[in-house]
Structure 1
Amino acid sequence: MPANAAPARVAESHALGLSSAGVTESPGNRSMPLESRSPGPKPFYAIAHRVLTSEGVRAAVKHGANAIEIDVQGWKRGAFTSRWELWADHDGTLTSAGDTIRNLFYTIADERQRGADIAFVWLDMKNPDYCNEDDSSEYGCSTLKLMNLARVILQPHGVRVLYDFSTRRGRNYEKLRTMLNPNEAMGLAVRWEERDRMESLGPHNKAQRIYSTGFFNWWFKYDSVKQEIREAIDSQAFGKVFSWTMTTGQTDNGNGMMAHTAIDGLIYGRAALSYDSTWASFGALDDIKSWIKRRPRERYLATAKDSPW
Structure 2
Amino acid sequence: MDLDIPGRGTYKQHILTDKDDGQTTTITINTDGTITLSSPSGDSGTVSDSTPSRGYRAAGPRPFWAIAHRVLTKEGLLAALHHGANAIEIDVTSHMGEGWFAEHDPIHTRLPIIDQLINGLSIADLLTAVADARRSGHNIKFVWFDIKTADLCGAAEGSCNIENLRTTARKLLEPAGVKILWGFQSTDTSARAFQVIRHGLVDNEAIAVDGLGQGLLSLDGMLAPHQVKPMFSSETSTVPVRQRVWTAGYALPGVRLGSCEYKNRRGESLFICPQIRHVLLSRDYGRVFGWTITKNHVKGANVLMEMGVDGLIYGNRMTCYNDGSDTREALGILTDWLDKNGERRYLATLEDEPW
> Could you say whether these structures have the same fold, taking a TM-score greater than 0.5 normalized by the shorter chain as the test?
yes
Residue in structure 2 matched with residue 187 of structure 1 by the alignment? 208
Residue in structure 1 matched with residue 291 of structure 2 by the alignment? 244
Q: Which amino acid aligns with 2:252?
A: N
Which of residues 90, 96, 101 in structure 2 aligns to 1:87?
101
Gaps of 5+ in 1: 1-35, 77-82
Residue in structure 1 matched with residue 274 of structure 2 by the alignment? 227
Which of residues 282, 286, 290 in structure 1 aligns to 2:336?
290
How big is the shift at 1:161? Answer: 0.5
How far apart, in 2, do the equivalents of 1:45 and 1:228 lie?
20
Please tell me whether the aligned partners of residues 240 and 264 of structure 1 are also in contact (alpha carbons under 8 angstroms): yes
3-state SS, counterpart of residue 45 of structure 1: strand
Q: What does residue range 31-50 of structure 1 map to in structure 2 within 5 Å?
A: 40-50=60-70
Residue in structure 2 matched with residue 253 of structure 1 by the alignment? 300
Residue in structure 1 matched with residue 89 of structure 2 by the alignment? 69
Q: Does 1:208 align with 2:243?
A: yes
Which of residues 78, 81, 85 in structure 2 aligns to 1:58?
78
3-state SS, counterpart of residue 65 of structure 2: strand
Q: What does residue range 106-145 of structure 1 map to in structure 2 within 5 Å?
A: 106-134=128-156, 138-145=157-164
Give runs of ≥4 in structure 1 deviating > 4 Å: 36-40
Residues 59-108 of structure 1, C-alpha deviation per residue, up to 9 Å, x if partnerless?
100110011000110104xxxxxx51210011123243331100110010
Q: Which amino acid aligns with 2:295?
A: T
How far apart, in 2, do the equivalents of 1:71 and 1:232 lie?
24
Residues 201-243 of structure 1, C-alpha deviation per residue, up to 9 Å, x if partnerless?
0253001111011110112111121121111111111010011
Which of residues 319, 340, 345 in structure 2 aligns to 1:299?
345
Q: Which amino acid aligns with 2:240?
A: N
Segment drifting more, 58-67 vs 215-224: 215-224
Residue in structure 1 matched with residue 263 of structure 2 by the alignment? none
How big is the shift at 1:133? Answer: 3.7
Aligned residues with identical type, % of pairs? 36
Task: Looking at secondary structure, tell me which structure has more helix per residue.
Answer: 1
Residue in structure 2 matched with residue 19 of structure 1 by the alignment? none
Which of residues 164, 184, 207 in structure 1 aligns to 2:183?
164
How far apart, in 1, do the equivalents of 2:309 and 2:43 lie?
19
How big is the shift at 1:37? Answer: 11
Query: How does the TM-score come out when normalised to structure 2?
Result: 0.71
Q: 1:37 to 1:119 in 2, by over 3 A?
A: farther
Residues 188-208 of structure 1, C-alpha deviation per residue, up to 9 Å, x if partnerless?
265251632222102530011
Residue in structure 2 matched with residue 8 of structure 1 by the alignment? none
Q: Which has the higher contact order (CA 8 A, sep 6+)?
A: 1
How big is the shift at 1:278? Answer: 0.7
Query: How does the TM-score come out when normalised to structure 1?
Result: 0.81
Residue in structure 2 matched with residue 152 of structure 1 by the alignment? 171
How far apart, in 2, do the equivalents of 1:58 and 1:178 lie?
33
Please tell me whether the aligned partners of residues 90 and 97 of structure 1 are also in contact (alpha carbons under 8 angstroms): no
Gaps of 5+ in 2: 1-41, 45-58, 233-237, 259-270
Task: Looking at secondary structure, tell me which structure has more strand per residue.
Answer: 2
Residues 250-306 of structure 1, C-alpha deviation per residue, up to 9 Å, x if partnerless?
1122112212x0110000111111111111122111111111012221111111221
Larger radius of gyration: 2
The count of aligned residue pairs is: 264
How far apart, in 1, do the equivalents of 2:137 and 2:60 lie?
24
Please tell me whether the aligned partners of residues 198 and 239 of structure 2 are also in contact (alpha carbons under 8 angstroms): no
How far apart, in 2, do the equivalents of 1:163 and 1:245 lie?
18
Query: What RMSD in Å do the two structures reach over aligned CA positions?
Result: 1.9
